Structure 1
Amino acid sequence: MTRSTALRRVGLVVLGVNLVLVLAKGAIWYVTGSLAVGSEAVNSLADTVYSVVIVAGLYLTTRPPDFEHPHGHERIEPFVSLFVALGIFAAGAAVIWQAISSVLADSVAVTHNPAAVGVLAFAAVAKYLLYRYCLAVGTDHRSPAVVATALDNRNDILTALAAMGGVIGAVLGFPLLDPIAAAVVGVGILYTGVEVVRDNLDYLVGAAPPEDLRAEIVRRALSHPDVEGAHDVIAHYVGPEIDVSLHVEVEGDRTLTEAHDIESAVIQSIERLPEVDDAFVHVDPKEAGEWKPDEEVDRLVGGPNRDPDRDP
């Protein structure tokens, strides 16, 4: 299955499940008046709204490259994720406000309807399945928007269980547990928003990828038999993908064609890493006096990346 098909399918599945959940929770809320169930209905409503955004965003990000976007549209994804986070923050704040207001107004409703527990249990199971599905697809296809959706679904499991605990506690004679559970749900929603923002900041500010990936990039460059060393290795996120630039050091007696072949081979080796979009390699001949030590490269490979006796 292609990346575009897989991601678009995720968006539609998440939208469908969230729509079913908001209708089910809303109906039970209307019948029982449980604040915990109501907070979960608001949570699912927010999920449904941002699912529409996800579907639209994933459609945009999976379009093929064009003249105005020669590298494709994947770099839109972190912005889609931040839009998701805004919706999550709004939903969390609304739920907490509603819980506090009900306590201050002394209008806590207690329900003995088993349907309230049933719908929350169903929601927890559905969200667990969505979490596993979204996480698998988002990880396999390196989609920050889908991974953000997975994290939201993971926290929805906890909020559904918290709401269930509040409903059961209220039935057992502790009515304040219902709004307390609703407030816990709200805090969980807010935490999800923080997590989504944190996970996407690296994509937006061009941060370096994880160290093990940087080390693998250097190892691939040094694995070429004609490369004597490397320096000035820069790897950074451009959207969810990684661009790499580096200098490789070769003996100066190579012909222009041989130098070109070395450069091409190193580029192809690095770009075979699924996380890397583009690699840019500059060939430095020894006689040009451009070989130089690079402590960061040495640290990544666990020792000198070039035989010290061969330094110019």
Structure 2
Amino acid sequence: MERYNELRKGESGAWLSIFTYLFLAAIKLTIGYQFTSQALVADGFNNAADIIVSVAVLIGLRISQKPPDHDHPYGHFRAEHIAALLASFIMAVIGLQVLFEAGTSLFSSSNVEPPNILTAWVAAGGAIIMFFVYRYNKKLAKRINSQALEAAAQDNKNDALVSVGVVIGIIGSHLHLGWIDSLTAFLIGLIICYTAWTIFKDTTHSLTDGFNETALLPFKRTIEKLDQVQKVRLFKARQVGSSIYADVTIEVHPHLTVETSHHIADQIEQKLRNDHDIVHTTVHIEPQKPKKE
């Protein structure tokens, strides 16, 4: 099935993120501790947390590729949501740890010496690397229409911006403002916690079959343009992993044959799949109600 092949292609983006985060986390934590930059250490912990997110995306993509079985008749696409939910909890723990350590240092009168300027170069290099990883995953996510990989790409972009903030914080600390490094670390901790909350919120929204009502409008317009569709009475959709499942109720002329009605339903399924990549659509057909005088 084409959807499973697309999920398999998305693994390359997850693997790229994992190896990049492993490399950057090791470099930043080593240099950050050696040259006493709490901002760079916090950025390293941020990258370490993102390893978990990338692994969760990879596991989710792997499990989602499993075909339907006797107790999963709709497939295993929701595995992406479960993995992301677990990752959000782990990210929150790491973010709170960074906040505690940075806050303790920020309100302490000791250890206000600016870190070695090498730490700024390390952070700048990390920002450049993460920008290219973001571009790669962004293009791949668009090509295979994977929302999980799109989320990973946005996380890559956030990491690049965080590293830019670290550079600014370290340079600021060299302007005889040693507390800026600790303040930057504290802000990074807030970003990690906010990212964890965002992942948790979006994942639980999908798991409870939540769907943005505004996003349904293009789907409805596509169906309304089809011949012999008199009215779209109901349109519901839910996010299942990187796929969308839809339920549609339409009105047609009451004297159409069963064969013609069946052909209309096939048209709707094919049109939604081609135009909006909705992999599964259930179409219910009702006779058009007579207009009231």
TM-score in terms of structure 2 length: 0.86
Instruction: For 1:45 and 1:155, locate their aligned partners in 2 and report how far apart those are by CA, in whole Å.
Output: 14
The reply on whether 1:255 has 2:284 as its aligned counterpart is no
- How far the C-alpha of 1:77 sits from its partner, in A, is 1.4
Over aligned residues, Cα RMSD in angstroms?
2.6
- For residues 243 and 25 of structure 1, do their structure 2 counterparts lie closer, same or farther at Cα, with a shift above 3 Å needed? same
- How far the C-alpha of 1:126 sits from its partner, in A, is 1.5
- How far the C-alpha of 1:121 sits from its partner, in A, is 0.3
- For residues 250 and 30 of structure 1, do their structure 2 counterparts lie closer, same or farther at Cα, with a shift above 3 Å needed? closer
- What code does the residue aligned with 1:255 have? T
The correspondence of residues 1-312 of structure 1 with structure 2, limited to 5 A, is: 2-108=5-111, 110-111=113-114, 113-211=116-214, 213-286=215-288, 291=289
Worse overlay, 92-101 or 145-154: 145-154
Deviations 1:262-300 (A, max 9, x none): 3322333233333412222222234xxxx27xxxxxxxx
- What code does the residue aligned with 1:38 have? V
- For residues 30 and 265 of structure 1, do their structure 2 counterparts lie closer, same or farther at Cα, with a shift above 3 Å needed? closer
Instruction: For 2:58 and 2:243, locate their aligned partners in 1 and report how far apart those are by CA, in whole Å.
Output: 20
Instruction: For 1:13 and 1:55, locate their aligned partners in 2 and report how far apart those are by CA, in whole Å.
Output: 11
- Any stretches of 5+ residues in structure 2 without a counterpart? none
- The DSSP-based 3-state class of the residue aligned with 1:134 is helix
| Higher RCO (CA < 8 A, seq sep 6+) | 2
Contact 2:244 2:277 in 1 (8 A): yes
- What code does the residue aligned with 2:93 have? A
- The DSSP-based 3-state class of the residue aligned with 2:17 is helix
- The DSSP-based 3-state class of the residue aligned with 1:273 is helix
Contact 1:162 1:184 in 2 (8 A): no
Report how many aligned residue pairs link the two structures: 290
- What code does the residue aligned with 1:204 have? L
- For residues 28 and 129 of structure 1, do their structure 2 counterparts lie closer, same or farther at Cα, with a shift above 3 Å needed? same
- The DSSP-based 3-state class of the residue aligned with 2:281 is strand
- The runs of at least 4 aligned residues of structure 1 exceeding 4 Å deviation read none
- How far the C-alpha of 1:311 sits from its partner, in A, is 5.9
- What code does the residue aligned with 1:251 have? H
- The DSSP-based 3-state class of the residue aligned with 1:283 is strand
- The DSSP-based 3-state class of the residue aligned with 1:272 is helix
- What code does the residue aligned with 1:233 have? F
Contact 1:80 1:145 in 2 (8 A): no
- How far the C-alpha of 1:69 sits from its partner, in A, is 2.8
- Any stretches of 5+ residues in structure 1 without a counterpart? 293-309
- For residues 67 and 43 of structure 1, do their structure 2 counterparts lie closer, same or farther at Cα, with a shift above 3 Å needed? same
Percent of aligned positions that are identical:
25
Instruction: For 1:124 and 1:177, locate their aligned partners in 2 and report how far apart those are by CA, in whole Å.
Output: 19
